[in-house]
Structure formats: C-alpha cells, structure tokens
Amino acid sequence: MILIAHGGAGDRKPTGKALKKLSEALSSGYDLLKSGGTACDAVVNVITVLEDSGIFNAGRGGNLQLDGIRRLDASIMEGKDLRAGSVIGLEHLKNPIKAALMITGTPHVILTNKGAGRIAKGLGPLPKPDRKAIEKLERAKKKSRETVRLYEQHFSTVGAVALDETGDLAAGASTGGVSVMLPGRVGDTPVIGAGIYADNSLGAASCTGMGEAIIRIVLAKEICMQLATMTPARSARLSLNRILNIGGKAGVILINNKGQFSVSHNTKYMASGFIKGKKLLVKEAFQ
Ligand code: GLY
C-alpha cells in the first residue's frame, strides 16, 4: 500500500503549515487503506482534508476568478475499471472531490456547476471568500499583466494517488485554478488524461502546474502510457522535460502497478510526500 499527495508545484517555498497539513492528510488516508479502504477512498479522504484546510488552492482556499467568483474543479479516477468523475466550475459546494466521486455513480464523466450541484446536493456549502482571498484577487488584478510570474508563484492545486492492498490504483486532484484567470477558465485538473489518470495495467498519476500546458501535452496519460516500458521516475522526467519545451512548469506524483513510485517536478518546489508502511516523508521539494 502506498499513498502520495502534493499541495502544488511552484517557485514559492511551501509553508511549514502546508507541509504539516499534508502529513496529517496522508496519515488520515493511510489509516483508511490499513483498515481495508480502497485506493479511491484514500485519495478522496486526503483531498477532502486538504480542501477543508483552506491552506491550499482548493476547496474553501480556492482562488477567485477575475469577476470575484470562485469556480472549483476536481476529478477522480479508478484504475480497476477506468471509472472517472469530474466537476468543472463548482461555485457553491465545499468539497469538489466528493462531488467528482458522486459523478462516478452516474452514466456521465464530467458535469459542470449546476448539474454537478444537483447530483451532489448533500454536500455542504462553500463558505464565502474571506478577506485574504479578496485581497489576493485585488493584487492579482493590479498585476494581471504579469500573469506568467504570478502563475509560477502560486500553484497550489492538491492531488493524491494510491495503491491499495488489492492492487487497485486511483488518482485524484482538486483546484481553484491559477492566480489570474478570466471568468470561465478551466485548467487541467478536471480533464481526465491531462490532470489525472489511473489504469491498473499501467499506473496512476496526478499532475499540478500550468494547466494550459498540461492539457496540451495530455500529461497524466502520457506519463502513465510510458510506464509500460520505463520506471516512474524516468517517465515523469521525460514528460516534464517535454512540457518545458512549451514553457510548462509542472509536477507529478506517480505510482506504477508494481508499487514503484516517484514525486517529480520541474519547478523549484513541490510540497509533497508519501506514506508506505511505517515511513511517512513530506518535503518542500523532491529534487
Ligand atoms: N493545475 C491547475 C490549473 O491549471 O487549473
């Protein structure tokens, strides 16, 4: 059993608080795995803890779009049967990852705000943006010409991948997007194959970083496909170098179906960690 989580890749050094919350989330998810929970249960559990913390760019900590509205994206995929659920632009629900999970129980894969809200209406409401979020938006508006720099500094999407006792894999992610974004902008996180992918015959990957570049490379599926012939570390490195060619800053957490795993990024930092057996390790960067 292995569980890996991240709190975003970027050029800004992760805080001690963020690293502590990642450890807490990993321990909580691993307890579930130890008590017979599935890889999917563990991934949803970890991401829920991170969404609820308000520390990361997900759930109640999610960024506001330039019209002042928070539109959250999330997705989950199970490697056993390639079942996937994804939500785009949720404006009112507290835990997008749980909404994504509920969509796996419908005939569909992706639902947007209102439709997803009907399926997931039992979930609690998303709190209103606090003063910090509004101030951050005001700063972003003033500096919106410096979009690229802001992009690089402010990734803090969250994600997790897991391998459970039965050999099943799962991947998930949740985000509030990037710092400066037009209303309606959607990144990689809810795009199956770009932000996440899981297939028991290959592996499970959850990506973070510049969503537009990740979508163009279809990063998560590319990295998983390469696992047929290479190790996780090599596959991640190859694709993270490739994405740099189009200016993409990104990171990925990855497990193959043999239980080998990697945490890789082409940014200075990626708050991330893993738990396997008795070993729990969380760091601000893995290279
Ligand atoms: N990687 C998150 C986003 O671009 O929305």
**C-alpha 78 to ligand 1 mean position (Å):** 21
CA pair distance 64, 196, nearest whole angstrom: 23
- The atom number, within ligand 1, closest to the CA of 73 reads 5
pTM for this prediction: 0.94
Could you list the active site residues? 157
Residue 239 reports pLDDT greater than 80: yes
Ligand 1 pocket test target in 148, 175, 182 with most atoms within 8 Å of CB: 175
Q: 224-232 contacts: CB < 8 A, separation 24 or more?
A: 224/197, 224/198, 224/199, 224/254, 227/202, 227/203, 227/254, 227/256, 227/257, 228/202, 231/256, 231/260, 231/262, 232/203, 232/256, 232/260, 232/261, 232/262
User: How much is the pLDDT for 146?
Assistant: 55
CB within 6 Å of ligand 1 — which residues?
Answer: 157, 175, 177-178, 187-189, 208-209, 211
pLDDT band at 152 (very low <50, low <70, confident <90, very high): very low
CATH number of 2-283: 3.60.20.30
Q: pLDDT tens digits, residue range 104-124?
A: 999 999 999 999 999 988 888
Of the candidates 277, 223, 286, 285, the one whose C-alpha atom is nearest the C-alpha of residue 26 is 277
What's the whole-number mean pLDDT along residues 214-239? 98
- The atom number, within ligand 1, closest to the CA of 210 reads 4
DSSP conformation class of 122: T
Ligand 1 pocket test target in 155, 185, 249 with most atoms within 8 Å of CB: 155
